[in-house]
Amino acid sequence: MIRGLMLFAAAAALASTAGWLGTPRVLYRQQTQPVAFSHKVHNEKGGMACTDCHSLRADGSFAGIPALAKCAECHTAAMGETKAEAAFIADYVTPNREPQWLSYARQPDNAWFPHGAHIMRAKLGCENCHGGQGKSDKLPLLEVNRISGYSRDVMGRPGKSGMRMDACVHCHEQRGMRHACLDCHK
Ligand code: HEC
Ligand code: HEC
Ligand code: HEC
Ligand code: HEC
Ligand code: HEC
């Protein structure tokens, strides 16, 4: 009887810990981006295409997040009257300081992902893997899993597959491709 009760108490404690761990705030550490950057503003007011900032280099490798020099082409002086732009110029452009952007999609160092093959050869749109990020008006908080260190966008949210190995392999298999471990791992 006492043993049963103890087991019950232990199970209840475990269940409530699991419930507690299940809440995003506890499982994920939240980080804020350095600049209030709006993709929407640059698309609509700046008339810019994705590849104006996220280009492939001449050797086919992906340039990723643009460096400050790209932003300074337009922002040495304010173009509008928003607080976000004034703060960006004062904190980064004028002192020539690179913003420490946080990446939502970054994979662990031992995994290799070539953008060129997916954008140029497979002709996949950015939104296939990144969702609506390129159209957003506000950068979301980055949520980092406290245990694995992965971003929540890599881990996958409820109902979404994320960008884990399963998702890569699933799409490849659907298209009749089989890649060896070393095609994606260093
Ligand atoms: C004016 C330059 C600029 C343009 C144009 C631009 N971006 Fe970005 N983009 C950025 C900057 C700066 C970041 C870094 C902030 C971040 O990580 O979200 C970023 C981040 C991203 C990310 C997040 C990557 C990650 O994992 O952190 C995606 C996805 C993205 N851009 C897609 C797009 C798409 C799609 C378009 C076109 C519709 C586009 N971008 C146009 C500057 C630009
Ligand atoms: C081709 C020119 C151009 C480039 C390059 C450019 N921007 Fe802009 N940016 C604009 C325009 C146009 C606006 C809107 C100004 C206005 O009317 O308020 C803007 C607005 C902004 C704002 C204010 C956002 C808001 O909510 O209105 C920030 C912050 C900003 N840009 C950061 C960046 C960063 C960071 C980069 C480099 C990754 C960059 N810009 C590259 C043209 C550019
Ligand atoms: C097949 C899926 C897929 C497609 C299509 C795709 N991406 Fe990505 N993207 C990824 C993955 C996976 C990563 C993480 C790569 C890494 O960590 O090496 C990433 C990373 C990024 C980053 C962050 C780079 C960094 O330094 O962390 C940016 C910016 C980005 N992608 C923009 C784009 C844009 C713009 C397009 C469309 C032109 C695009 N992506 C198309 C899967 C994709
Ligand atoms: C199509 C690309 C692809 C192929 C093929 C692939 N992997 Fe991966 N793998 C990844 C990516 C991306 C990650 C990082 C994201 C994650 O952990 O799911 C990863 C993660 C892993 C991890 C770490 C898991 C973790 O969560 O930390 C191991 C171990 C691994 N792969 C082993 C293998 C082995 C063994 C093979 C061959 C049978 C293989 N992979 C084939 C893309 C691939
Ligand atoms: C939505 C579908 C899709 C997703 C998701 C996807 N891929 Fe691919 N991948 C493709 C296609 C299609 C090709 C073949 C492109 C070609 O050569 O025509 C490819 C090719 C590749 C190649 C071979 C490149 C070369 O030069 O031969 C690697 C490596 C690769 N993918 C890794 C990854 C990794 C890692 C992920 C996950 C982070 C991933 N892929 C997610 C569709 C996808």
Using CB distances shorter than 6 Å, the residues near ligand 5 are 111, 113-114, 117-118, 121-122, 124, 128-129, 163, 167-168, 171-172, 175, 179, 183-184
- The closest residue, in CA terms, to atom 36 on ligand 5 is 168
Q: How far apart are CA 159 and CA 38, in angstroms?
A: 26
Answer yes or no: is pLDDT of 94 > 60.
yes
- Closest ligand, as measured to the CA of 180: 4
Task: Tell me the C-alpha distance between 92 and 98, whole Å.
Answer: 6
Measured from the CA of 165, which atom of ligand 5 is nearest? Answer: 37
Give CA–CA dist 156/153, Å, rounded: 5
Token digits of residue 68: 């400050």
Residue 154, judged by CB atoms within 10 A of its CB (0-12, 13-18, 19+), counts as buried
Largest CA distance in the chain: 77
Ligand 1 center–CA 39 separation, angstroms: 7
pLDDT of residue 161: 79
How does residue 5 score in pLDDT terms, banded at 50, 70 and 90? very low
